């Protein structure tokens, strides 16, 4: 393994994750810092809440794309044999580095988002079919409850469960990573859990009340 390429992969992964899409888009096109509005989170969901779908969807796509690219860097740089456990392990590390960059972006004063969209991008690069299954679960829970936070946490918990029961991987570290992802998503939603328990969490999808 070329150590120079290895270092480059990690630096690029962190910088990719650190691109504060929500913050930059809010400031450039709307003149506001989304971290000062709505939930105070620099993520796509808050952008939709504060600035609408037309702004939020591109932000979400970019955040997913930067996570995917960060996890795909080891493949592009040929850091290990294709399909090997070693390659998957390196992809996990670069993907995790990008998620850390998203949550603690050096380009935005280390105040980022919760990393859900970025994590989805990483997982698509690592195991697309498993990730698509989890996205389906996310959408179903979102439609049923109306809460993005509940859907995100459910998706996070479902990921390791599905990996251990229905899917497979040659990397034991990927299984460990899946559990870490589930725990991390729960931890980054601590405030949402408190608001849910108090009945104060804002619904992303609001159903019209019957008259």
Residue-wise pLDDT tens digits, 140-192: 999 999 998 899 899 999 999 999 999 988 889 999 989 988 998 898 888 88
Three-class secondary structure of residue 208 per DSSP: coil
Three-class secondary structure of residue 168 per DSSP: coil
Instruction: Evaluate whether 100 touches 110 at the Cβ level (below 8 Å).
Output: no
Q: How far apart are CA 7 and CA 58, in angstroms?
A: 30
Within 10 angstroms of residue 77's Cβ, the number of other Cβ atoms is 18
**Positions of the chain with pLDDT under 50:** 210-211
Mean pLDDT score of the chain, rounded to an integer? 90
Q: Domain ranges in the chain?
A: 3-198
DSSP per-residue string spanning 5-59: HHHHHHHHHHHHHH--HHHHHHHHHHSS-GGGSTTS--SHHHHHHHH-HHHHHHH
**Which DSSP category does 159 fall into?**
H
Residue-wise pLDDT tens digits, 187-198: 888 888 999 999
- CA dihedral sign, ordered 106, 87, 183, 137: positive
The structure's pTM equals 0.82
Q: How far apart are CA 170 and CA 184, in angstroms?
A: 23
Strand stretches in the chain, DSSP E: none
Q: How far apart are CA 64 and CA 13, in angstroms?
A: 13
């Amino acid at each position: 393994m070329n150590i120079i390429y290895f270092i480059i992969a990690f630096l690029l992964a962190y910088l990719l994750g650190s691109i504060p899409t929500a913050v930059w888009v809010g400031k450039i096109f709307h003149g506001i810092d989304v971290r000062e509005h709505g939930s105070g989170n620099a993520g796509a969901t808050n952008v939709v809440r504060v600035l609408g779908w037309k702004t939020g969807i591109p932000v979400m796509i970019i955040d997913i794309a930067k996570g995917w690219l960060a996890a795909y860097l080891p493949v592009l740089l040929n850091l290990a044999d294709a399909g090997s456990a070693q390659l998957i392990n390196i992809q996990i590390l670069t993907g995790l580095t990008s998620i850390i960059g998203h949550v603690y972006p050096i380009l935005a004063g280390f105040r980022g988002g919760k990393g859900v969209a970025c994590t989805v991008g990483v997982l698509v690069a690592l195991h697309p079919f498993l990730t698509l299954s989890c996205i389906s679960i996310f959408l179903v829970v979102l439609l049923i409850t109306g809460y993005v936070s509940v859907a995100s946490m459910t998706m996070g918990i479902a990921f390791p469960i599905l990996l251990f029961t229905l899917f497979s991987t040659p990397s034991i570290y990927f299984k460990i990573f899946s559990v870490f992802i589930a725990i991390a998503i729960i931890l980054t939603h601590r405030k949402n859990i408190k608001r849910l328990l108090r009945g104060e969490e804002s619904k992303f999808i609001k159903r019209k009340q019957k008259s």
